Amino acid sequence: VQANKLRPVPWNRVVVDDRFWAPKIKTNREVSIPLQLEQIRKTGRLDNLRRAGGKLEGRFEGIRFNDSDVYKWLDAAAYSLGTHPDPELEAQVNAVIEVVAAAQQESGYIHSYFTLERPDARFACLAINHELYCAGHLFEAAVTHYEATGSRALLDVALKFADHVWGLFGPGKRDGYPGHEEIELALVKLHRVTGRDRYLTMAQRFIDLRGSRPSPFEAEFAAESAWKNVFDAKRIFYKGDQYDGSYAQDHLPVREQSEVVGHAVRAMYLFSAMADLAAATGDQGLIAALDRLWTNLTTKRMYVTGGIGPSRHNEGFTSDFDLPNQEAYAETCAAIGLVFWAHRMALLHRNATYADVMELALYNGVLSGVSLDGEKYFYVNPLQTDGTHHRQEWFYCACCPPNIARLLASLGGYVCAESDDGLWVNLYVAGTCQARLGGTEVTLRQTTDYPWSGEVGIVVEPQTPLEFELRLRVPRWCRAADVSINDGSVPLEAVDGYIGVRREWRAGDRVRLLLGMGPEHVVAHPDVIPDVGRAAVRRGPIVYCLEQADHDGPVSRIILPAEEPLEEVREPDLLGGVITLGGTGYRLFEEGWDGHLYRADRQPAEQIPLKFIPYYAWDNREPGDMAVWIPVCLAQGGLVR
């Protein structure tokens, strides 16, 4: 076990008070969370639990795993209560917890579908039935609710269920594990708040068993062949007649895995739990596997937005460099899962590379998942559209809305990390972090207009003067950084992506960080076939796109000059306040094409002004098309800038 471990400064000891995130968190609290509860009610998700608790007549409605949306909503609401107490929301949370508690069976089991419809088949088909997945989300919500309010109302329900799981699946019991990972990382959280080893042991057992041969899923599918959806579900676990399992990361024992495969959300939740376990146990086999998987994901299978999982077919991964733009699946939940995993990797390895990816996903592939007004969501996040893809208020399978709500509500937890003698700043977010280094309280106050500006002011306020190392992340996109302390410049020694300053810090010490930030054209690895001859535009952590709303016609027809500079325009009244990037491009004429699909003629184009907006902010105005990767006029020398 690693000594002097790195821990996040807990979400409830961080105040986010900036112009970028604070308004989004406010919208999340005031609009999204209430509307989501309304949707959860309207769609029978609460009624299912009421029926399972005998409080209502009738049959189960919707998808089998709909309980999880209730738990994720509770998780989001509890985070919000922890940073922004609200008696009305608290009453709603308590009412929902009562419903959940009443749905708990004598054994500890909770899952409204099986309780209502197939009590005989509880835990009969872990591969597809999501009972352990739902349990995991319940456990996470319970931990958050306990941390936020001090109440054990939900935690005791969760522990009773966790003990039931332990009784069925603990050491010496049934060798089963969930088809959809989630409970593993939740069990680690239960271990953290209770200190009880069995929860960590249970998580480890689920992780260690994954990839067994024969897979326990094979017997489950054989036994459950009469189930109506097993035929379809089975198909995705098999290659022809041969069990494969890669859909659920069950193709190999986890320590032998090297490529990210299968359902992307499942993969991210598994890898997050593996990182938790590695942090707890120092297991080098796990760490080596995580490192291989990380390299595969971030150097071969990730969109420039931090979106992951290109295929609709398996909601997940395909092959190296297969990153289609228009067909991109890039589920919002998968990008959220990447934030979870990247955060844990950053803590495990104390390396800013991981926080760079966390930031990338957070500001782009995650944030695109919710509209600026907090009322609509993307499940699928393509990088190019034909004008027909738009956010929706809710989904039949509604995993994404409450997932983004709980991430936004817990954002403070990703900003800083602490060890016994160090303080890491991973995100530049104005506000305060209340860290504990050894026994000393240290407050860190950030002032910044990040991500629009790379200028960050930090005031360090230890309770008493304290020597420790302050580590400031220098993002990989930054070409020039500068740090001064109390107006004196300090030598830059970036180690593992952090500039570290070790000194005795005194209350009121001021740090000033300047991260050079400007618009850049980005190109993709030449094996990403659809991006060859195209460029994307980025500024700092923000990936940009072109949207039809700014261009009086489809942006798919636009071609970008290679050498044209892009001009930053601060637009405080646009899209919640953004910096747009202006320039000049060419748009192919549609005129003259009537009756033609292909022509050998020259293709005329007109010069038009371009306006790039942040990718996360698209589809918040009149509907139209959008593109991240723009065909670029390559200079004859074959060089792109």
Residue 523 makes contact with a second copy by CB under 8 A? yes
Q: CA-to-CA distance for 265 and 263, rounded, in angstroms? A: 6
Please select the residue that binds a second copy; options are 327, 375, 449, 568, rule is CB under 8 A.
Answer: 327
Q: Hey, how many other C-beta atoms are within 10 angstroms of the C-beta on 42?
A: 11
Closest CA relative to residue 269, chosen from 412, 429, 399, 112: 399
E strand or H helix at 416, and its extent? strand 416-418
Residue 533 makes contact with a second copy by CB under 8 A? yes
Residue 528 makes contact with a second copy by CB under 8 A? yes
Nearer to a second copy, 502 or 589 (CB): 589
Please select the residue that binds a second copy; options are 588, 620, 621, 623, rule is CB under 8 A.
Answer: 588
Residue 538 makes contact with a second copy by CB under 8 A? yes
Residue 226 makes contact with a second copy by CB under 8 A? no
315, 359, 418, 547: the catalytic one is 315
For the CB of residue 629, give the shortest distance to a second copy in the complex, in Å.
10
Q: Which amino acid is at 569?
A: V
For the CB of residue 633, give the shortest distance to a second copy in the complex, in Å.
5
Instruction: Give the gyration radius of the chain's Cα atoms.
Output: 25
Closest CA relative to residue 325, chosen from 345, 342, 304: 304
Q: CA-to-CA distance for 393 and 377, rounded, in angstroms? A: 6
The one segment of 87-95, 291-299, 364-372, 572-580 that binds a second copy by CB under 8 A: 291-299
Q: Is 428 buried (19+), middle (13-18) or exposed (0-12) by CB count in 10 A?
A: buried
Tell me whether residue 399 is one of the annotated catalytic residues: yes
**Phi, psi angles (nearest 5°) of residue 11:** -55, -30
For the CB of residue 426, give the shortest distance to a second copy in the complex, in Å.
21
Q: CA-to-CA distance for 274 and 549, rounded, in angstroms? A: 43
The one segment of 36-44, 274-282, 363-371, 550-558 that binds a second copy by CB under 8 A: 550-558
Q: CA-to-CA distance for 476 and 480, rounded, in angstroms? A: 10
The one segment of 43-51, 206-214, 503-511, 534-542 that binds a second copy by CB under 8 A: 534-542
Residue 525 makes contact with a second copy by CB under 8 A? yes
Site for a second copy, residues 433 to 492, rule: CB under 8 A: 477
Please select the residue that binds a second copy; options are 211, 554, 614, 624, rule is CB under 8 A.
Answer: 554
The one segment of 54-62, 155-163, 340-348, 582-590 that binds a second copy by CB under 8 A: 582-590
For the CB of residue 599, give the shortest distance to a second copy in the complex, in Å.
6
Q: CA-to-CA distance for 515 and 381, rounded, in angstroms? A: 29
Q: CA-to-CA distance for 458 and 430, rounded, in angstroms? A: 9
Please select the residue that binds a second copy; options are 72, 205, 210, 300, rule is CB under 8 A.
Answer: 300
Residues whose CB falls within 8 Å of the CB of residue 189, separated by 6 or more in sequence, listed in order: 139, 140, 143
Please select the residue that binds a second copy; options are 53, 556, 617, 619, rule is CB under 8 A.
Answer: 556
Residue 586 makes contact with a second copy by CB under 8 A? yes
E strand or H helix at 582, and its extent? strand 578-588
Residue 610 makes contact with a second copy by CB under 8 A? no
Closest CA relative to residue 14, chosen from 499, 444, 560, 555: 444
**Quick one: CA torsion of 188, 190, 193, 194, rounded to 10 degrees?**
-110
Residue 561 makes contact with a second copy by CB under 8 A? yes
Residue 326 makes contact with a second copy by CB under 8 A? yes
For the CB of residue 410, give the shortest distance to a second copy in the complex, in Å.
28
For the CB of residue 436, give the shortest distance to a second copy in the complex, in Å.
36
Please select the residue that binds a second copy; options are 2, 508, 589, 609, rule is CB under 8 A.
Answer: 589
Residue 557 makes contact with a second copy by CB under 8 A? yes
Residue 261 makes contact with a second copy by CB under 8 A? no
Nearer to a second copy, 86 or 322 (CB): 322
Site for a second copy, residues 194 to 223, rule: CB under 8 A: none
Q: CA-to-CA distance for 348 and 594, rounded, in angstroms? A: 59
Residue 632 makes contact with a second copy by CB under 8 A? yes
Q: For residues 162 and 202, is the Cβ–Cβ distance under 8 A?
A: yes
Tell me whether residue 400 is one of the annotated catalytic residues: no
Q: x/- site string to a second copy, residues 365 to 404, per CB under 8 A?
A: -------------------x-x------------------
- Parallel, antiparallel, or unpaired for β 422-425 and 14-16? unpaired
Residue 8 makes contact with a second copy by CB under 8 A? no
Please select the residue that binds a second copy; options are 214, 241, 595, 622, rule is CB under 8 A.
Answer: 595
For the CB of residue 535, give the shortest distance to a second copy in the complex, in Å.
9
For the CB of residue 510, give the shortest distance to a second copy in the complex, in Å.
31
Residue 628 makes contact with a second copy by CB under 8 A? no
For the CB of residue 532, give the shortest distance to a second copy in the complex, in Å.
5
Residue 322 makes contact with a second copy by CB under 8 A? yes
For the CB of residue 603, give the shortest distance to a second copy in the complex, in Å.
4
Q: For residues 471 and 499, is the Cβ–Cβ distance under 8 A?
A: yes
Nearer to a second copy, 324 or 422 (CB): 324
**Phi, psi angles (nearest 5°) of residue 148:** -75, -35
Contacts 24+ apart (CB under 8 A), 213-219: 214/243, 215/243, 215/245, 215/250, 216/126, 216/175, 216/176, 216/177, 217/126, 217/127, 217/179, 217/243, 217/245, 217/248, 217/250, 218/243
- The token pair that represents 250 in the structure block: 């069950």
Residue 349 makes contact with a second copy by CB under 8 A? no
- The token pair that represents 411 in the structure block: 């954002």
125, 134, 333, 399: the catalytic one is 399
Residue 98 makes contact with a second copy by CB under 8 A? no
For the CB of residue 403, give the shortest distance to a second copy in the complex, in Å.
25
Q: CA-to-CA distance for 43 and 39, rounded, in angstroms? A: 6
Q: For residues 399 and 68, is the Cβ–Cβ distance under 8 A?
A: yes
- Parallel, antiparallel, or unpaired for β 509-515 and 481-485? antiparallel
Which residues bind to a second copy, rule: CB under 8 A? 231, 295, 298-300, 302, 304, 319, 321-322, 324, 326-327, 384, 386, 477, 520-530, 532-534, 536, 538, 554, 556-557, 559, 561, 586, 588-590, 593, 595-607, 631-641
Q: Which residues are catalytic?
A: 315, 399
